[in-house]
Amino acid sequence: MIDLPGSDASLRPGAQAALDADGSPLGRRTAWAVDLLTAETPPEADHSEHFVPVFLARQPRGFAATLEQWRAQGPFTVTEYQPVAHKSWVTLQGPSGTRSTLSLTLDSTGLIRVLHLGPETVTPPVHGWDDLAGALEQPGVTWSALVTREAGGTTETLYAKDADRPMPNGSSYKLYLMRALAHAVASGAVRWDDEVTVTPALRSLPTGDMQELPDGTRVAVRETAYKMIAMSDNTAADLIQDLLGRDAVERAVEQGGHSDPSLLRPFLSSHEVFEIGWGAPGLRDEWDAADEEGRRLLLDRIAGPMTVRGSDLGPTVHQRGLDWHMSAWDVARVLGALAEDGTRDTSGVVEGILTAYPGVPVDPARWPRVVFKGGSCPGVMMFCWLLEDPDGVRFTLVLQQRADDQKLIGDGQFLRGMGGRVIESGLLSGTSR
């Protein structure tokens, strides 16, 4: 059994030892970050060699002030350590028994891009589908879910709640980009060693780190695709979409089995969603009033360097169609199609990209193959998994949330944790505990 951050497991004396024994780049950075909070005397005052420059630049009072606030909540004891690819979560227990979670994300250079201390997000156990529904039923939040089992060419629905309803999905649109790219490579139109070039017109906002590359930087398609999926890099996605062309991605939407492809026409880049959604107010009104042709003309007109900053993001805009709308079944179909793309790709590149980041701690003996994608935007959260057991039986899990107020959804750790609860519960394979 693998417990997730926020689980109800009891104190683990071995958590600190596990962290100390992790000699990976992620483990070393996490151990250093934890030492900032737990050591009697914090490490050196100059932290620049551990963080990407933008992290320190975004600390209005300096990181030393933030660190002082965090340490004041201690002394801390490490009770859980969860490393997953380039991310880690450490649960820290304070003197009163209050538990907090220190979350860390590494940049592709191995430096810390995200370091955050906040209250522990507790996810209730899942022993049956009613437990999942009870946890996700929250005032002001619309949600849907789908769980399927596929074996011998037959798909069985294990659980579904409003799985046919189109929902905004944030970054899961990148699954269609990955499909279009895999097909372009298979046809010989694109090679993995080809390069894309970072330009002001294609630079987006985080997540990711490619937006910070200098103008003119050339990056291999393989690396760009990896960042698009494993790190959900928005600039990487826009570079791939520019390489392939909007028409090719819209064909991938149709071929991927979307129930209503018109919802994704024109297929928006992340840059375009940010620019229309939180740029000049007139753009949102124009988008609302326009038909598909008018919207395409609007996208042509706003092409150019982004004027929106991350601090501009606020009110939700998914109600205006400024997102990528897919039902849970649509997500499941494109996940399955991508899994087939990975199987057919003899180079192994597609499979390596798809399985690089499983999203939650997963037992590799129980689930040797995991494809994961998450997505978020103000008022939008979704997570989806395709898991394959040692016998080749596939399970798909899709969880979606939307709300008119981002505060009702939070940072996604609850929904991600509920996905992990389902995966660890045994419900997928009929061995619920």
| SS3 state of residue 32 | helix
Q: Is residue 7 part of a domain?
A: no
Domain count within the chain:
2
Q: Is 64 exposed, middle or buried (0-12, 13-18, 19+ CB in 10 A)?
A: exposed
Domain coverage including residue 257: 126-270+321-433
What is the C-alpha to C-alpha distance for residues 319 and 346, in angstroms, rounded to an integer?
41
Domain edge (last residue) among 98, 119, 140: 119
First-to-final CA distance of the chain: 10
pLDDT value of residue 225 = 98
**Residue 176 belongs to domain with CATH number:** 3.40.710.10
Residue 202, classed as helix, strand or coil, is: helix
- Run of H or E including 68: helix 63-71
Whole-number Å distance between alpha carbons of 123 and 401:
16
Last residue of a domain, one of 119, 151, 172: 119
Residues sharing a CB contact under 8 Å with residue 432, sequence separation 6 or more, in sequence order:
127, 128, 425, 426
CB atoms within 10 A of CB 122: 13
Q: Is residue 168 part of a domain?
A: yes
150 assigned to some structural domain = yes
Residues 43 and 130 in one domain: no
pLDDT of residue 61: 76
Apex CA 3: angle with CA 14 and CA 157, to 5°?
A: 160
Tell me the one-letter amino acid at 399: L
Q: Which residue has the tokens 């879910």?
A: 145
146 and 207: one domain? Answer: yes
Return per-residue pLDDT of the chain as tens, 433 residues: 233 444 443 344 589 999 999 999 999 999 999 999 998 887 666 788 899 998 988 876 788 889 999 999 999 999 999 999 999 999 999 999 999 999 999 998 999 999 999 999 999 999 999 999 999 999 999 999 999 999 999 999 999 999 999 999 999 999 999 999 999 999 999 999 999 999 999 999 999 999 999 999 999 999 999 999 999 999 999 999 999 999 999 999 999 999 999 999 999 999 999 999 999 989 999 999 999 999 999 999 999 999 999 999 989 999 999 999 999 999 999 999 999 999 999 999 999 999 999 999 999 999 999 999 999 999 999 999 999 999 999 999 999 999 999 999 999 999 999 999 999 999 998 654 4
Q: Same domain for 55 and 170?
A: no
CATH number for the domain spanning 26: value is 3.10.450.280
Task: Please check whether residue 304 lies inside any domain of the structure.
Answer: no
Residue written as tokens 């990955």? Answer: 178
pLDDT of residue 13: 53
Q: In terms of domains, do 114 and 141 share one?
A: no
Task: Please indicate, yes or no, if residue 344 is contained in any of the structural domains.
Answer: yes
Question: 177: number of CA atoms within 13 Å, CB side?
Answer: 33
In a domain, 63, yes or no: yes
Picking from 64, 97, 119, the residue at the C-terminal end of a domain is 119
- pLDDT value for 9: 39
Same domain assignment for residues 192 and 114: no
Residue 432: the pLDDT is: 47
pTM across the whole model: 0.92
pLDDT, residue 48, reads 84
The answer on 185 and 95 residing in a single domain is no
Q: Are residues 260 and 208 in the same domain?
A: yes
> What per-residue confidence (pLDDT) applies to 126?
97
Whether 397 is in a domain gets the answer: yes
